[in-house]
Structure 1
């Protein structure tokens, strides 16, 4: 059954006309609106012939239907549907072959149109380019064929000049373009999805492609193992003949709930009046259908200045959940004429409110035999120029619903975490290198051989302030901290510290360490400054401090100034024995 539906009302969808198709033939696999011939709208469809005809080598898969639109005065008339032609334009004679893909380029002349169809389930895949002219009947005329090594995943066609078109098609990983003109050209590989060597993940696969302008193309790709969908806008090379590669211009990730894309539709809200005209500022509306029967809407801005064209702000509007009870098999936007500049009235008239335009989005669930139409409100954008003295810009439509740009909060939080981690790492490196006052305890968690001595003026904060053992900090930071402790305990600014030899137990073995005490005249009567010590005591103290890991020859002896030393017993005897 082929039906014409009236979707003008946001509340109800009404059947305007129907045509019952042959039950012996296959179901409709592709559908596209074509040219107008007088009051008849041409519709192209893919329908396989009956099994008997296919077995005889005859499969008239390309059908052209006409929908007669009644005059406005005949409000009670129905839209009559008539089959106008059926043709075979594929070379393949396989019984399983069917017309899987069909796309036509929008016609600027209204009398001539170019499109392409691709096979499905064929042993030898192909793409056939065709043209339809209302002056020579409505049957398609083949213009060329492409033999493919792999079945095309999707394709699209656009008119780029008065007598030149371009075909884009892709398989899972490769995107190609082909110039269609007076002479035949060869396809050009403009992009191949790169292999991620770093992670080893499988490559994303192309699912749908659509032209935005002759210079830009949009692709929907499914990530590996159903991990998501990404939209990618590519800047195309000038032509297939001149070669070159497509460059990624913009991209966006669909919501996590959408694991795979099934359909893609695009609508330019300010199309050009001719194929060779430069596309000015405009907004594209994008719809992506997911495997969960959802539709995610995006807007994309196209800006133009002199010869520079950019696509920016690929931002989501909303996601429509569970639109159909079955997977969505087709999406289509309605056509929106560009707004006309206001006319100058010769006499004073009462101003009227501008007409409210809406963009309609129709979706089809083939398995459930359902059709849903959504109405997207539009608003007229002011044509005032931002540059003083510049001429006003042409008026245009944009979506009245506001899109959402990326949320900066997560980026800011992530950046703050990175800065904090790098700051802590830098602080730890400086502490270990003895360049700053210890504050995060980095010197406690690294091997002792990494530690560098602290200058005398740098103090540390350590818990073990009674004994300097083999795991204590270097002497400079330890003494500085001890002096601060003594001062805080009321000993006065002139408080002195005395180093005393100490023997302590460390596990099952003994260790030689150093005790640090406040100077007491009675208990430390023999304590002397470094310069007052005899050579034997200096050598004994250097040996003990070095063994305890508190001093090295590279530190010099100036570190001992201001410190008193008690005598180490047996130092002279050891010297004589040595």
Structure 2
């Protein structure tokens, strides 16, 4: 089944590890990767691709190359510019697009220096590049925008890194960025100023373990906050004129030795952060929205949670605010967040989350699944996902989209354009004041988890308990047979019956089955009990009588009477004879005889006359 969103894709000539959208232009995307130092024939690159006109790519090869292209629609993706770095250096492992200054946009990339330089103790792992988009030039009647990519600086931010250390994580917010190490003996996070072409180090934090993911958010004028996680712990650290110490704000609770492990985090607002965690044994993904510590609260609290089902683990996370505030540190209003989670099964799960402001307590609500994109890159591993930044237009004449980009190890880039629609909050229509501005939400509605599976399970449980209860009541003689549990019970079940509660129909069938070999009357027929000659005794010329039961036929069995028509002595004789045959016990009571006719029994009249 094709995805319900327009899709464009392109295949490059190197593995892809990192991507990021230009925060000031949703039509610009940067991707990067490469084959690493000395790998046969595969270069290390950063590429810029235009998606109407879209995208930039950074790369590393033995020479500098530039390609300028454009896309004509949401279904076509082309390269707009590229820079190829030295084959002697490492792959591009992390990327972040910074602020625009005039005609140029700054890019930051994590690229290790050559092995020879690293062996000498020099590793300028953070590259700063500038992308300048020149005026369009006519070529064969087609306007083609050019993107010129040049390197501005290289910096080494980590303290005393070993030869295995590389920059795996990189995030930039405003004028401050943060980078984290991987593979090294001493895990670190370096915070730097990104306001100038040459980044200036603000501080290095030593970590007890390697950070699994990090994010940074500007919380005020000159104030930032860094969040990072590893394994079961979530930390925050304040960045300003004087940097704070990392504060542990949440620890995954231990559930008998098995706990979800943090995989990725993204800020939603200064008040909330979103995290995805992998459940043990690849049994699914946990999505949690955390309310960050506020005055009076030292720890983060869970504000929203749900689970991505399936035998998968998360590999990447992206979040888009569809109604971003004018400043990153401003409080969020009524808005919808769009969430993308890449899984190990080559799928991208899309969720929506609503933010509801209040004078008392802001809320995260309706964390619901929207759609799952499958086979975006075939069966290839998805190494990264990113959303374009959406800003509502001043006029609402055109259809609006938010773009979701994804990359894979198999050199492919895919961009889905997710349609948006206008939305006006209901409470905005009730007041007498000016109406609230129109905001945008995803056109495809999310669906809350259905309650039908729970209702069905509960219904089955209730039905089963009702059947068991009815069977027990029938077994103890406290109910008329409905499910006829007696047909499935052993012969000794009659000993459990209460003498005060007897289901006549059940025991009547029991009496008949003992004397008639299981023969039962059909509709309109009546069974009769009578004395018959014993077959073996008759063959030996002896006289012996046995009790039998059959459908009543007056020509064969003679006259027959109901139980109420029998005299006291006749009843006593019948009771004794039936008890001797094992067809009746005292616990059954005499009401079982109400539906049976009784023939003449030898000795009954004589005993009755002797009694007179």
TM range (shorter): 0.7 to 0.9
Q: Partner residue of 2:487? A: 444
CA distance in 2, matches of 1:526, 1:301: 77
Q: Partner residue of 1:388? A: 430
* Residue 380 (structure 2) pairs with residue 332 (structure 1): no
Q: Which one of 274, 285, 291 corresponds to residue 338 of structure 2?
A: 285
Q: SS of the counterpart of 2:277? A: strand
Q: Partner residue of 2:267? A: 211
Task: Give the alignment of 1:127-526 within 5 angstroms.
Answer: 127-128=189-190, 130-134=191-195, 138-149=198-209, 151-162=210-221, 164-180=223-239, 182=242, 184-192=244-252, 194-195=254-255, 203-227=259-283, 229-239=284-294, 242-247=297-302, 249-254=304-309, 256=310, 259-306=312-359, 307-323=361-377, 326-340=380-394, 354-365=397-408, 367-382=409-424, 385=427, 388-389=430-431, 391=433, 392-406=435-449, 410=453, 413-447=456-490, 448-449=492-493, 451-453=496-498, 455=501, 459-460=505-506, 464=510, 466-468=512-514, 488-489=524-525
CA distance in 2, matches of 1:388, 1:244: 37
Q: Could you give the per-residue CA deviations for residues 128-169 of structure 1, whole angstroms, max 9, x where no partner exists? A: 3x13252x66414233403223x2222222334445443333
Which sections of structure 2, spanning at least 5 residues, go unmatched?
1-44, 53-70, 537-545, 605-612
Alignment RMSD, CA only? 4.5
Judge conservation of contact 1:438–1:461 (CA < 8 Å) in 2: no
Judge conservation of contact 1:385–1:393 (CA < 8 Å) in 2: no
CA distance in 1, matches of 2:82, 2:353: 37
CA distance in 2, matches of 1:163, 1:503: 111
Q: SS of the counterpart of 1:435? A: coil
Q: SS of the counterpart of 1:329? A: strand
Q: Partner residue of 1:574? A: none
Judge conservation of contact 1:259–1:290 (CA < 8 Å) in 2: yes
Deviates more, 1:459-468 or 1:274-283: 459-468
Q: Partner residue of 2:90? A: 26
Which sections of structure 1, spanning at least 5 residues, go unmatched?
343-352, 473-481, 506-511, 571-578
CA distance in 2, matches of 1:452, 1:214: 70
CA distance in 1, matches of 2:341, 2:104: 31
* Residue 179 (structure 2) pairs with residue 117 (structure 1): yes
* Residue 120 (structure 2) pairs with residue 85 (structure 1): no
Q: SS of the counterpart of 1:459? A: helix
TM-score by length of 1: 0.74
Instruction: State the 1:66 CA deviation.
Output: 1.9
* Structure 1 residues 286 and 537: alpha-carbon distance in aligned structure 2, compared to 1, 3 A threshold: same
Instruction: State the 1:222 CA deviation.
Output: 3.6
CA distance in 2, matches of 1:80, 1:522: 117
* Structure 1 residues 99 and 527: alpha-carbon distance in aligned structure 2, compared to 1, 3 A threshold: closer
Judge conservation of contact 1:173–1:204 (CA < 8 Å) in 2: yes
Q: Which one of 15, 35, 39 corresponds to residue 103 of structure 2?
A: 39
Instruction: State the 1:190 CA deviation.
Output: 0.9
* Residue 568 (structure 2) pairs with residue 532 (structure 1): yes
Instruction: State the 1:557 CA deviation.
Output: 7.9
TM-score by length of 2: 0.71
Instruction: State the 1:264 CA deviation.
Output: 1.6
Instruction: State the 1:528 CA deviation.
Output: 9.1
CA distance in 1, matches of 2:204, 2:147: 34
* Structure 1 residues 455 and 513: alpha-carbon distance in aligned structure 2, compared to 1, 3 A threshold: farther
Instruction: State the 1:125 CA deviation.
Output: 2.2
Judge conservation of contact 1:177–1:190 (CA < 8 Å) in 2: no
Regions of 4+ moved over 6 Å: 71-77, 496-505, 512-531, 534-539, 555-570
CA distance in 2, matches of 1:38, 1:524: 115
Q: SS of the counterpart of 2:419? A: strand
Q: SS of the counterpart of 1:85? A: strand
Q: Could you give the per-residue CA deviations for residues 337-360 of structure 1, whole angstroms, max 9, x where no partner exists? A: 1344x7xxxxxxxxxx61322212
Instruction: State the 1:524 CA deviation.
Output: 7.4
Q: Could you give the per-residue CA deviations for residues 320-339 of structure 1, whole angstroms, max 9, x where no partner exists? A: 42436742222221111134
Q: Which has the higher contact order (CA 8 A, sep 6+)?
A: 2
Q: SS of the counterpart of 1:277? A: coil
Q: SS of the counterpart of 1:466? A: helix
Q: SS of the counterpart of 1:373? A: strand
* Structure 1 residues 92 and 314: alpha-carbon distance in aligned structure 2, compared to 1, 3 A threshold: farther
Q: Partner residue of 1:349? A: none
Instruction: State the 1:46 CA deviation.
Output: 0.7
Q: SS of the counterpart of 1:94? A: coil
Judge conservation of contact 1:188–1:243 (CA < 8 Å) in 2: no
Judge conservation of contact 2:279–2:286 (CA < 8 Å) in 1: no
Q: SS of the counterpart of 1:425? A: helix
Instruction: State the 1:438 CA deviation.
Output: 1.3
* Structure 1 residues 38 and 322: alpha-carbon distance in aligned structure 2, compared to 1, 3 A threshold: closer
Instruction: State the 1:312 CA deviation.
Output: 0.9
Instruction: State the 1:517 CA deviation.
Output: 9.0
Deviates more, 1:268-277 or 1:93-102: 268-277
Q: Could you give the per-residue CA deviations for residues 244-283 of structure 1, whole angstroms, max 9, x where no partner exists? A: 35326231425x5x73432221111111223453322212
